[in-house]
Amino acid sequence: MTALTLGSAINAGLSKALENDDKVLLMGEDIGKLGGVFRVTDGLQKRFGAQRVVDTPLAEAGIVGTAVGLALRGYRPVVEIQFDGFVYPAFDQIVCQVAKLHYRSNGRIRMPLVIRIPWAGGVGAAEHHSESPEAYFVHTAGLRVIAASNPQDAYVMLQQAIASDDPVIFFEPKRLYHSKGEVDLDADLADAPPMHLARVPREGTDATIVTYGAQVRTALDAAVAAEDDGISLEVIDLRSLSPIDMNTVAASVRKTGRVVVTHEAAREAGVGAELIASITEECFHYLETPPRRVTGHDIPYPPSKLEKHHVPDLDRILHAVDLVLERGAGSSPTGGASAATVEGGVR
């Protein structure tokens, strides 16, 4: 085991993939000499050469679209989109081409393409640098969507994503790039849990918090804080947003009967909406109280001085936990200080 930051773990995963398969190549803006604006690809061009670690023109549709052609020619491109908010110019290539070519060709064309996206907020960044676009991709058939939350997973899942014959959107929570964790660099990929399975980083009995990405940390902090109040929270790190591992989620909800979903992305038609709909379909009779969502507001990402009001924090999660546990003032869904008002508007 080695203690690595999330960023270095990704670097190590890329390095391993480049080493193991000479069809793997990295493409993106500033990823070569500079090592990426987050230095995630630091040193890789030096080691593997400019043919394997390619500094591209500044054109997102160009990066993804040429990666499609390279995949058609037998390569396994791993592209970096510099920031979440810059994936939109490539959106057409991703949803119309990358996602659909396998289907359109009756399975004859494979798109083993990974699109890495430094993702979400909490780092005081400028406009367009803190977005959570995951729902767009989850909504698109043909894409797998992965959200890493810790260095070990990032290291392993990135290699799994590169090995997958399906296209994978790989979200890297940028506010965790510098946070450390233990990584088993010699982990055998064959023994690692497949990337479509969720993880339960903390077991509990009173309520389930379902989340992913950087919110996993916040949820775990909330669980520690709740423990002081004698509340036992189970935390699920989805890891995969398409497909969602409903077995793990449903098993937990059947056990606790109460559920809070939290993510940083906006609420409307977000991953939380999908989760709660599926939970309701599958576990309705086990639910003790209505599930709750704690999400970013349905607003464009706010100026960074206000982002702490947008990105759900420990207190907002605990508040929702109180609501699903029917604890404290205003906890009744029908009376008191309406929960709906606090949680962001009545629908």
Partner 1 sequence: MTYTQTRVSSTGRADDHDAVDDVLRILEPDGSRIADDTLDPWVADLSPHELRALHRDMVLTRRLDAEGVALQRQGQLALWAPCRGQEATQVGTAHALAPGDFVFPSYREHGVLLGRGAKPADYVLAWRGEEHSAYDHTTINAAPPQIIIGAQSLHATGWAMGAQRDGSTDVAVAYYGDGATSQGDVNEAMVFASSFRAPVVFVCSNNQWAISEPVTVQAKYPIAGRAPGFGIPSLRIDGNDALACVAAMRWALDRARRGEGPSFIEAVTYRMGPHTTSDDPTRYRDSAEVDEWAQRDPIARLEAYLRAEGMLDDSGMDQVARAADALAAEVRAACIEATTRAPETMFDHVYAEPHAAVERQKAEYMDYLAGFEK
Decide if residue 281 touches partner 1 (CB under 8 A).
Answer: no
- In angstroms, give the least distance from the CB of 194 to partner 1: 9
Q: What does the longest C-alpha to C-alpha distance in the chain come to?
A: 64
Q: Is 110 in the site for partner 1 (CB under 8 A)?
A: yes
Q: Is there binding between residue 211 and partner 1 (CB under 8 A)?
A: no
Q: Is 129 a catalytic residue?
A: yes
Give the C-alpha distances (Å, rounded to integers) separating 33 from 16, 23, 107, 171, 213: 19, 21, 37, 23, 28
Alpha-carbon distance of 159 to 193, in angstroms, equals 12
Other Cβ atoms closer than 10 A to 132: 27
Q: DSSP 3-state helix, strand, coil percentages of the chain (rounded to 5)?
A: 40, 20, 40
Choose which of 51, 230, 329, 347 interacts with partner 1 (CB under 8 A).
51
- Asked if residue 298 lies in contact with residue 310, where contact means CB atoms within 8 angstroms, the answer is no
Binding flag, residue 81, partner 1 (CB under 8 A): no
Q: How far apart are CA 239 and CA 7, in angstroms?
A: 17
Q: Which residues 6+ apart lie within 8 Å of 4 measured at CB?
A: 12, 151, 155, 180, 181, 182, 183
Q: Contacting partner 1 (CB under 8 A), which of 61, 185, 187, 192?
A: 61
What amino acid is encoded at 282 in this protein?
A: E
How crowded is residue 108: how many other Cβ atoms within 10 Å of its Cβ? Answer: 8
Half-sphere exposure of 211 (CA within 13 A, CB side): 35
Q: How far is the CB of 37 from partner 1 (least distance, A)?
A: 20
- Cβ burial 208-225 (10 Å sphere, 16+ → b, else e): bbbbbbbbbbbbbebbeb
Among residues 111 and 148, whose Cβ is nearest to partner 1? Answer: 111
Q: Which stretch binds partner 1 (CB under 8 A): 74-82, 223-231, 297-305, 336-344?
A: 74-82
Residue closer to partner 1 (CB basis): 8 or 140: 140
Residue of 129, 263, 310, 319 marked catalytic: 129
Cβ closer to partner 1: 165 or 268?
165
Structure tokens at 110: 């494979």
* HSE-up of residue 62 (Cα within 13 Å, Cβ side): 8
> Applying CB under 8 A, does 73 fall inside the site for partner 1?
yes
48, 75, 83, 136: which one binds partner 1 (CB under 8 A): 75
Nearest distance from residue 246's CB to partner 1, in Å? 7
Give the number of residues in contact with partner 1, rule: CB under 8 A. Answer: 48
Query: Cα separation of 97 and 77, whole Å?
Result: 15
The binder of partner 1 chosen from 6, 223, 244, 323 (CB under 8 A): 244
Could you say whether residue 142 binds partner 1 (CB under 8 A)?
A: yes
Stretch that binds partner 1, among 63-71, 199-207, 214-222, 259-267 (CB under 8 A): 63-71
DSSP 163: H
CB of 334 to partner 1, least distance (A): 34
What is the closest distance, in whole angstroms, from the C-beta atom of residue 160 to partner 1 in the complex? 11
CA dist., res. 229 & res. 257, Å (int)? 19
The answer to whether residue 180 forms part of the interface with partner 1 (CB under 8 A) is no
Q: Which of 105, 205, 332, 341 binds partner 1 (CB under 8 A)?
A: 105
Contact positions toward partner 1, by CB under 8 A?
51, 56-57, 59, 61-62, 64-75, 77, 89, 92-93, 96-97, 100-111, 141-142, 144, 164-166, 196, 242-246
Active site residues: 129
